[in-house]
Amino acid sequence: MSNAASETTEATDRSEPPAWRLLLGYVRPHRWALVAGALLSLVTGATGLLLPLVARGLIDDLAHDRSITGPLLTMASLVVANAAVGAVGSYVLRRTAESVVLGARRALSSYLLRLRIPAVDRTEPGDLMARITSDTTLLREVTTESLVALGTGGLTLVATVVLMGVVDPVLLGVTLAVIAAAGTVLGAIVPRINRASRQAQDAVGVMGASLERVLGALRTVKASGAEHREELNLHAAAEESWRQSVRAAKWSAAAGNTAGLAMQIAFITVLAVGGARVATGAIDIGTLVAFLLYVFYLMSPIQQVVGAITQYQTGAGALARIQEALRLPGEPAAEPAPLPAADAEPAALAFTDVRFRYADDLPYVHHGVSFAIPARGMTAFVGPSGAGKTTVFSLIERFYDPESGEITLDGVRLGDWELPRLRSAIGYVEQDAPVLSGSLRDNLLLGNPEADEDTVTRVVKTTRLDGLVARLPQGLDTLVGHRGTKLSGGERQRVAIARALLRRPRLLLLDEATSQLDAVNEAALRDTVADVARSTTVLVVAHRLSTVTMADRIVVMDAGRVRAVGTHRELVASDPLYAELAATQFLATAD
């Protein structure tokens, strides 16, 4: 498990509600289906409990030379009814269990999509995926084999014991003494199952994180010749998962076999004591046979109860891990806001003495950043790497909140904006221009699924993607591969720009949006951005100053501070850092 997850575990274990209460929260929407399945299971158990009594009557009829047709027909009917009702009850319970898993997966996946970015930064994605897949799967067994089995098995156990007491109290006392001894042993085993199961699930999360780490950078791993080293890391994670799972299986097997051994000892003891009582005439042979049948039937509810307790311990660990994920800081759930109208006014932006760092143990990225950007026009952010340029965009999108200072959009503090409404006004092209698995059309419409075909065609042409679309075998419906591997770096950047433009943003953020384009496409897109800036507020982060020399204003950042603001010509003359950057790129005299 990741360090962040470990810290979360330590912080929340003391206030963690009982696992049974968490489980009831997931079961509550399906309680009536669960009750129906439980009732059917009880009916199944009741029909089984009647069989020994019918068998005792059948033996009495044989002993007195009476007809046994009636008892035989009754036994056959009970067996058939037991099988039919049991099958229906099993289906209802399994279907309900799958519904519980579905509800948990929906809730968890919805919440994870709304996690705050700092929480995602501190957590391994592979571990979060394990919580959605592996941990939620365990709820299936907990629902049927723990919650229901504990209830139905417990009631069947009580009913069986009562009937055993009716048949012969002495033999019941012998049976309960054996069961009590086994219960003492199980009491020592159960806590070990809980700990082992939790550690096994944590190990699965670590293995998922290791796998996601490698697959997410497989080309880099191969290019570095690091397959063998990463293979050893993956194998070590898999072996740790295996060790913890085997440990959990060992204690679960010990619990199950303890219960089975107890029932075998009880059967032998009852047979011995009961045989002696038959020999002395205290009971007849029919009573002994009936009691032995009840001992035989007692095995099933006892195994149900023991299995339920064992499975509950496994599920308790999974439930705790799910709750850990649901306690990570998240953004408020809200419906997406409508996108700006085509003629919407551009946005004005201002930073006032903003200080920010990504974590308390890291240095500040911004040391009192201040600037004001009027509505409409292009503003460029330039400066050395690590100056805090990309962080400006992350703060505007409210992926992070500043530690102090104020950021306003249209004169309103960002914290006072509803997040969906804020982000609907912004088009954002990230530095690495991520493309999702799916078709090219899916990626273009990600931010505006309602865009019509004419609008898509126009934006595709504007971003010079029309040549690519013409070459693709299915055009816009061609699959682009995992993370857009079938596209070049420049094509992915153009897709990201087109996606942002289709949102009709009032504020367009371009983070190194042309870094992977050739000179021809860069010039074309530079003209496109300049055209967009006439009706939209455009912010550009650039290392290549050739893309921003015509900007309305340039903000020069260095070491987390704004050191100068002006046009290209003004900054070349007045700011030594900008003049140096321009000189190294042969732009010192450019207009």
Shared domain check, 544 and 464 = no
Give, for 367, the enclosing helix (H) or strand (E): strand 366-373
Residue 274: domain span: 3-326
**468 in Cβ contact with 488 (< 8 Å):** no
490 with 543, same domain: the answer is: no
Q: Which of 102, 100, 188, 186 is nearest to 143 (CA)?
A: 100
CA separation for the pair 499, 448 (Å, rounded): 8
Residues 116-164 have pLDDT tens digits of 888 887 877 777 887 887 788 777 777 766 666 677 777 777 877 887 7
In a domain, 138, yes or no: yes
Give residue-wise pLDDT tens across range 537-581: 999 998 778 777 888 899 999 988 999 999 888 888 898 888 888
Which pair of tokens denotes residue 245? Answer: 């799972």
* Contact of 202 with 253, CB cutoff 8 Å: no
- Do 448 and 421 reside in the same domain of the chain? no
Cα–Cα distance between 166 and 145 in angstroms, integer?
29
Contact between 420 and 335 (Cβ < 8 Å): yes
One domain, residues 420 and 439? no
Shared domain check, 416 and 440: no
Residue 15 predicted with pLDDT over 60: no
Contacts of 184 (CB under 8 A, 6+ apart): none
Do the domain assignments include residue 243? yes
Give the domain CATH number at 471.
Answer: 3.40.50.300
Residues, the chain, total? 591
Strands 349-356 and 561-566: unpaired
What does pLDDT average to over the chain? 80
H/E run at residue 344: none
**pLDDT per residue as tens digits for the range 357-413:** 988 888 999 999 999 999 988 999 998 888 889 999 999 999 999 999 999 999 899
Cα 472 vs. chain centroid, distance in angstroms? Answer: 35
> In the structure encoding, which two tokens stand for residue 138, read together?
């365990």
Shared-domain flag, residues 310 and 441 = no
| Structure confidence at residue 144 (pLDDT) | 66
Does residue 450 share a domain with residue 411? no
Tell me the two tokens of residue 108.
């968890």
Contact assessment for residue 392 and residue 381, using Cβ atoms and an 8 Å cutoff: yes
Asked, for residue 335, whether it belongs to a domain, the answer is: no
Residue 205: count of CB within 10 angstroms of its CB: 24
A 10 A CB-CB count for 76 gives 10
Whole-number pLDDT of residue 16: 63
In a domain, 136, yes or no: yes
Largest CA distance in the chain: 122
Higher pLDDT: 204 or 475? It is 475
Q: Which two tokens stand for residue 388?
A: 């805090």
Q: Is residue 480 part of a domain?
A: yes
User: Are residue 420 and residue 438 in the same domain, yes or no?
Assistant: no
Checking DSSP bridges between strand 553-558 and strand 377-382, what pairing results, if any?
parallel
Give the end of a domain, one of 297, 326, 355.
Answer: 326
Per-residue pLDDT averaged across 93-108, rounded?
83
In a domain, 512, yes or no: no
Contact 89, 47 (CB under 8 A): no
Is residue 365 in some structural domain? yes
Same domain, 458 and 409: no
Q: Are 81 and 152 found together in one domain? A: yes
Do 385 and 306 reside in the same domain of the chain?
no
157 and 284 fall within a common domain:
yes
Comparing 217-221, 448-452, 529-533, the range with the smallest average pLDDT is: 217-221
In a domain, 337, yes or no: no
Beta strand ranges found along 374-498 (DSSP E)? 377-382, 404-409, 412-413, 426-429
The total of structural domains in the chain comes to: 3
In the prediction, which pLDDT does 351 show?
94
Q: In CATH, what number is assigned to the domain containing residue 172?
A: 1.20.1560.10
